[in-house]
Structure 1
Amino acid sequence: MLPWRDMVGEWVFESAHVQIQRHFDERYFHRWLKPFIKRVNPVIYIWGYKAPDYFIEYVRAQGVDIFFLEDGFIRSGPEDDSSAPPLSIVMDSQAPYFDTTRPNDLTDLIANFDFEQDNYDEVLAQEILDYYVSHRVSKYNHQSYVDVTPIYGPKNKERILVLGQVPHDDSLKYGGGKDFTLLDVVNKAIKENPDAQIIVKPHPMTLGDHSIIRTLTELDCLILTQSIHLVDALETIDHVYTITSLGGFEALLRGKKVTVLGRPFYKNLCKTEAIRHQYFLLCYLYSQQDYCVTLA
């Protein structure tokens, strides 16, 4: 567990709390946790789905208040690395936002928010989105600027960017993407855009898979093996393909056409002419920056 996660209690709890390491077995659960939950009726916070399924199912069945925590949609600042505390977190009372097999607070917010209400300032929302885009803000903001012009070469055809993900990631498992691979996404992009330049940005954790890299090379794809900020990678891109990556949502906010093979929370935005600043506002309201920014 990352050291900063010991501070989570300081961000979200207003009273005494007990922090339990997620690596416990069923014996510990039945002997200690079940009696504790029945006696105390606590509020329970879980990072993502990093708890056994039987524990989550039991807690839900008991009607105990539960919140699922995740990195917020702005994770790191320019001086941060992966070990730094997040600049924002998400707290969802139903399920992590990447789980689209069941309702969650984000999908409820998107479905039910009344944009006609008096306190919604459309001009301000658009100004904030413009600032976000013009200042190159992303989920991760610690990477140095990279000019992709010499990497991509002259643009004389449509450009497609394929965003890879970590296989077996929870967002794939719970977002309708577990049956798809990076090669599936690439092949779909090639089939639907036979005359385009196909650029593939694999997840850094998968670059060691030489068989995938070799196959992508044989498919005549440009593979981004160097560390490139997503905002830089999106420069001059016309269309983005991915499974469930949050990078697809960031591409939408920047006016790119996006195709997803899974069912991430933003899938409907890919199909419609929805007003981007509305989705932007809701997703960043959902991302609770108040809790962490003073500690970062």
Structure 2
Amino acid sequence: MTAVPSQTDAPRTIVIGFRRWRAWNLRPMLRAQGGTLRFVRDVAGAQAHGPGADDRVIVWGAGTPAGLPALIAHSGATLVRVEDGFIRSVGLGSDLIPPRSLVFDPCGIYFDATRPSRLEQLLAQTAFDAALCDRAARLRAIIVTRGLTKYNIENPAPPHWRSHGRQVVLVPGQVETDASIALGCAAAGVRTNHALLVAVRAARPDAFVVYKPHPDVMAGNRRGALAARATHGLADHVETGASILACLAHADELHTMTSLAGFDALLRGVPVVTHGMPFYAGWGLTHDCAGDHPAHRRRGRRLTLDELVAATLLLYPHYWDPAKAAFVAAESALAAIASERDRLRASPAHDRHARGFWRRQGRKAGVLAWAWLGPGLRD
């Protein structure tokens, strides 16, 4: 079972710089860990609370607000970075849908390959026993059978491309401003969707290359779209309808910079080529083109797929059940996500929920209104 933060020995928690909608969405999860919770705008606000060695300071992702290192050094407080988990929700985070899983990392963060994260430490050091690996294998079977991904909103219909017998290479697009690219790809390596397609075409000149834009880009929430002319001669097909899972079911190989789609592919037995250093690279399960990256040199251990799953989905994240207002086991959370996704697919509102622009904007406006007009966030 994933260790759930204790409510009896939890330190005081000071959260720096969360946007109000994020603070509103995450407050129940942070409060469930016990202790006093404070949301502040910046490091000065945190300093005003006089943090000490028994306290923890939380920031989102890989961000380092001005003055944060000095605050941590002088106070002795524990710095914890928080991010969405790998199977997050039914709906996009960029649509302000609350997460069902979070990671709390006191070392780094999983997508920052410039330094070890707690996940990397787990993968490098854990003695994976048979019981844990068996549990991971069962969880992986649930994920594959139920067709779960990070956001769980895409159309499950199969793709309609025709490869005419050629090897199908799937290339998932990424949000090019994401920290996972800045921190997971070498400065002189592949760092854009266009550069990735160029590298794939050079490596697989005879393949049928399918480019799939990122869902946040498709939804209009993030930048990173490639113009059709930019894919000409590089991709044989641009897939904008079928889900990543439907594409994987018809792919022979996946190439990526740091996309979570590579992890989805590994779970389903699809060979993966990495051009950056995502958390799942460097453990002997992928073909890594960035072998000179410092993270690759740190990750010398060879893992089985179930060991990778055990650390990534059982030991590292915490899973949340909003109905119970409590942390739960991974299996329980994934079952709830799958059930919610299935109910939504069976409803007439499915397409509007997943892709309807105005419906999504209205839902986001509701979250923002509650965040600004609801009870105060300074507990």
TM-score of the aligned structures, taking structure 1 as reference length = 0.84
Report if the CA contact (8 A) 2:255-2:273 is conserved.
yes
Which residue among 164, 176, 181 is the counterpart of 1:167?
176
Report if the CA contact (8 A) 1:159-1:196 is conserved.
yes
Which residue among 223, 238, 256 is the counterpart of 1:223?
238
Identify the residue that residue 131 of structure 1 maps to in structure 2.
142
Q: How does 1:162-241 map to 2 (within 5 A)?
A: 162-176=171-185, 180-206=191-217, 212-226=227-241, 228-241=242-255
Structure 2 residue 73 is the aligned partner of structure 1 residue 61? yes
Cα distance 1:154–1:185, how it changes in 2: closer, same or farther (>3 A)?
A: closer
Q: How much is the aligned-residue C-alpha RMSD, in angstroms?
A: 2.9
Which residue among 262, 277, 300 is the counterpart of 1:248?
262
Paired letter, 1:270: T
Report if the CA contact (8 A) 1:88-1:293 is conserved.
no
Which residue among 12, 17, 25 is the counterpart of 2:30?
12
Which residue among 312, 316, 319 is the counterpart of 1:289?
319
Structure 2 portions without partners, runs of 5+: 1-18, 288-300, 326-336, 338-379
Structure 2: how far apart are the matches of 1:11 and 1:275? 32
Paired letter, 1:188: A
The number of equivalent residue pairs is 283
Deviation at 1:225, TM superposition (A): 3.0
TM-score of the aligned structures, taking structure 2 as reference length = 0.67
2:153 is paired with a residue of what secondary structure?
A: coil
2:310 is paired with a residue of what secondary structure?
A: helix
Deviation at 1:123, TM superposition (A): 3.4
Paired letter, 1:11: M
Structure 2: how far apart are the matches of 1:267 and 1:135? 25
Identify the residue that residue 116 of structure 2 maps to in structure 1.
103
Paired letter, 2:309: F
Q: Deviations over 1:24-81 (max 9, x none)?
A: 4xxxx45x433434579632111213452x3332244233112111111111137999
Q: Deviations over 1:74-127 (max 9, x none)?
A: 1113799932211111111111211111121100000111024x7x34334322
Cα distance 1:80–1:164, how it changes in 2: closer, same or farther (>3 A)?
A: closer
Which residue among 296, 309, 325 is the counterpart of 1:280?
309
Q: Deviations over 1:175-233 (max 9, x none)?
A: 1256521121111111111111000012245568776421202435311233x322112
Percent pairwise identity? 25
Structure 1: how far apart are the matches of 2:196 and 2:92? 33
Paired letter, 1:46: V
Cα distance 1:45–1:134, how it changes in 2: closer, same or farther (>3 A)?
A: same
Cα distance 1:56–1:245, how it changes in 2: closer, same or farther (>3 A)?
A: farther
Cα distance 1:140–1:278, how it changes in 2: closer, same or farther (>3 A)?
A: same
Paired letter, 1:199: V
Structure 2: how far apart are the matches of 1:137 and 1:97? 20
Identify the residue that residue 151 of structure 2 maps to in structure 1.
140
1:166 is paired with a residue of what secondary structure?
A: coil
Q: How does 1:262-281 map to 2 (within 5 A)?
A: 262-268=276-282, 269-271=285-287, 274-281=303-310
Report if the CA contact (8 A) 1:43-1:66 is conserved.
yes
Structure 2 residue 59 is the aligned partner of structure 1 residue 46? yes
Q: How does 1:87-102 map to 2 (within 5 A)?
A: 87-102=100-115
Deviation at 1:154, TM superposition (A): 4.9
